[in-house]
Amino acid sequence: MNIDFPLILLILVAGSGLIWALDALVAAGPRRARIAQLQDRYPKWDQPETSDGKKYVTALAETASEPAVVEYARSFFPLLAFVFVLRSFLYEPFQIPSSSMVPTLEVGDFILVNKFNYGLRLPVARTQVVDLGKPERGDVVVFFPPHKNDTYYIKRVIGTPGDRVAYRGKELTVNGESVPQEWLAAVPEDGSRYAVGLESAGGDSYLMQVDQRRPARDFSVTVKPGHYFMMGDNRDNSSDSRVWGQVPERDIVGQAVAIWMHWESLLSIPSFGRVGAID
């Protein structure tokens, strides 16, 4: 079961704000008037050790105290509103759940997702209200895939609208041109299972990995208008656009920009050795 945290947060913000506003408009004035009357009735109300002070405290609790639900709403609304604005329009935290982006991202990496690079969107509805930019080839993005529109996925943009993307013999081409590769940890011919290479797309370089014991899953596709073709950096161990299709622009959440912590499980110790920008 997937929890729709943005919707829950929106409900909490709206609910606490509504309670606080209704109390301020309807009940706060009469409550202040009752407090003033009690202070007139007990002149020494501000001296707790006196008889007036003790009677004032008792009467205040019985007739003029702020309801607990209003107190909680007033206390939590500013914090909830701050978190809501931060997550909806600026940055949202995200944990890497699988190995599909190895070696760039590892299971347990906590990352920050920039929510405004590709335009401002209404929370929950996902409707774009301000266009600030488009995903570029080579960007690492978080999005909702076509087959699971309530689950976050993270992959790399390989094809933008109109691109012709092909994968043959574990070599990637875009618009008929090979994407430059430089093998680092191994070479495809040396018999090792995994080969790690440096790939360049969109002017940026990033690490990728192939599994030489698995078939290449060759394909060729033209990216539709308003869509993006996504692939994991762990090329032969990734469920991506080769499996479930192209991603509509409206379903892109934001750009993954930095790792801020690594914490693989509750039984492990958090570490900060992988902190840094995401290539």
Q: pLDDT tens for residues 227-279?
A: 999 999 999 999 999 999 999 999 999 999 999 999 988 888 999 999 999 98
Pairing relationship of beta strands 247-248 and 227-231 according to DSSP bridges: antiparallel
User: CA–CA separation, 218 vs 196, rounded Å?
Assistant: 19
The CATH number for 96-277, chosen from 1.10.3720.10, 3.40.50.2000, 3.40.50.10320, 2.10.109.10, is 2.10.109.10
The domain ranges of the chain are 5-88, 96-277
Q: Which residue has the higher pLDDT, 75 or 214?
A: 75
pLDDT value of residue 150: 80
User: CA–CA separation, 73 vs 200, rounded Å?
Assistant: 51
Whether residue 55 is predicted with pLDDT greater than 50 in this model: the reply is yes
Burial of 143 (0-12, 13-18, 19+ CB in 10 A): buried
Residue type, 137: R
pLDDT bin (cut points 50, 70, 90) of residue 64 is confident
Question: Does 100 qualify as catalytic in the annotation?
Answer: yes
pLDDT, mean of residues 113-130: 90
Among 88, 115, 155, 238, the one annotated catalytic? 155
Whether the link from the prior residue into 103 is cis, omega within 30° of 0, is yes
CB 112 within 8 A of CB 257: yes
pLDDT value of residue 62: 87
Query: Can you list the positions of beta strands (E) in 136-213?
Result: 140-143, 153-159, 164-168, 171-174, 177-178, 181-183, 194-201, 204-211
Both ends of the chain: CA-CA distance in Å? 32
* Angstrom distances, CA of residue 277 to CA of 110, 111, 249, 256: 12, 9, 24, 9
- When the pLDDT of each residue in the chain is averaged and rounded to a whole number, the result is 91
Q: Is 53 helix (H, G, I), strand (E, B) or coil?
A: helix
Q: Provide, rounded to the nearest whole percent, the portion of the chain with pLDDT above 90.
A: 73
Q: What is the pTM of this model?
A: 0.84
pLDDT value of residue 189: 67
pLDDT value of residue 201: 82
Q: What element of type H or E holds 17?
A: helix 5-22
User: At a CB cut-off of 8 Å and minimum separation 6, what does 66 contact?
Assistant: 23, 31
Which has the closest alpha carbon to 208: 240, 245, 183, 244? 183
pLDDT value of residue 1: 43
pLDDT value of residue 170: 87
Nearest-5° Cα angle at 143, 142 to 147:
140
Whether residue 3 is predicted with pLDDT greater than 80 in this model: the reply is no
* Angle at which helices 51-59 and 28-41 cross, to 10°: 160
Q: Per the structure block, which two tokens stand in for 209?
A: 């990995």
